[in-house]
Structure 1
Amino acid sequence: MPRADAQRNLDALLRAAKEEFAANGVDAPVRAIAARAGVGTATLYRHFPLRSDLIAAVFRREIDDVTELAGRLARTHSPGDALELWVRRYTEFVATKHGLGSALHSGDPAYSGLREYFEGNAGPALQRLLDDAADAGVIRRGIDPIELIGAIANLSAPPPGSEHSERAGRMVGLLLDGLRYGAAPTAAR
């Protein structure tokens, strides 16, 4: 278990990197990330000797966040609302990852296992939301969570030559409408 100050620095670095990556892509300057985190570049390099280590850590943290969010939403919202809120959050996650896709597919060993980690964590969390929504009769049955995640990712990418991500919300809204088509409403009790 890291010391409390080391954990604070690590958390600050991951938050700062996430924000810098969202604003400037995964090639954001290391100095800008360290400055945003309120630490020196030596602290950043001590935790993340390579940029790929930092990118992988940010991605894992984001996976953990969207996975945890699914459980929290399932406990606090109706099944349809929980699913829609999760999908909207995941859309934001994808839409703000400028350059992450190409980095993850670069063959760098730092990224090995991330796909499996994502599918093994976010997949089951989304499956629960899908099952709850289908049981409530608000979406149709038989939606594969990994296929849905892929569809959301594809719809969330800005059009070629554009940096605009506002289109993602509209496209994913259409996808959600499609999930509702053919839903079997539950009988009144």
Structure 2
Amino acid sequence: MVISKGRPVRADAIARDAGVGIGTLYRHFPTREALVEATYRNELAKLCDAAEELLERLPPAEATRAWMDRFIEYLSAKRGMADALRMVIAAGANPYAQTRDRLVTAMTRLLVAGAAAGTVRADVDPADVLAGLSGVSLVAGDPEHRDQAHRLLDLLMDGLRHRSAG
């Protein structure tokens, strides 16, 4: 069983959803911990890849704000997987090894595009924005506080907007 978005998911359900047999699933992921780690890394990759995808479809400031929503969802899901991720760490793996670098790279891409478009300040440290997003997630990352999360993300985004001197 794996935890996804706070709910337990059985391995046979995962195999069925992936369109493979349970044997194929266990050949690729011989332990529950291997499956949890792969699930976590996949979610991280989807989040980080979304930065470029959003920039292809939206103006940079809008892409950044949309990515912020996805980041909050990602952190909420990660909280739901906390016990399973602790099992992965206890088994000797480090699912977080590349997390910070990948997130900073994605946020940097969004901020650089926004600065080039003149809509986002150029003096913003991507790690500071990620820290702010993490704070929003801690305060309002669960579904019952979704409205507050949106307001806080809008406030954070307002702080990132470029202002002309004067």
The residue aligned with 1:62 is 43
The residue aligned with 2:152 is 174
Matched to 2:67, the amino acid is: W
Matched to 1:93, the amino acid is: Y
CA contact (8 A) 1:156 1:172 kept: no
Aligned runs of 1:88-103 on 2, under 5 Å? 88-103=69-84
Offset at residue 154 of structure 1 (A): 4.2
Distance 1:41 1:147, change over 3 A: farther
Aligned equivalents of 1:153, 1:182: Cα separation in 2: 16
Which of 11, 17, 34 in structure 2 is aligned with 1:36?
Answer: 17
Matched to 2:156, the amino acid is: G
Aligned equivalents of 1:59, 1:90: Cα separation in 2: 13
Larger relative CO (CA 8 A, sep 6+): 1 or 2? Answer: 2
Offset at residue 118 of structure 1 (A): 1.7
RMSD (CA atoms):
3.1
CA contact (8 A) 2:76 2:142 kept: no
Which of 90, 93, 101 in structure 2 is aligned with 1:108?
Answer: 90
Matched to 2:163, the amino acid is: P
| Count of equivalent residues | 163
CA contact (8 A) 1:52 1:108 kept: no
CA contact (8 A) 2:6 2:81 kept: no
Question: TM-score if structure 1 supplies the norm length?
Answer: 0.68
Distance 1:164 1:74, change over 3 A: closer
Question: TM-score if structure 2 supplies the norm length?
Answer: 0.75
Q: Percent identity?
A: 28
Listed as ranges, the gaps of 5+ residues in structure 1 are 1-16
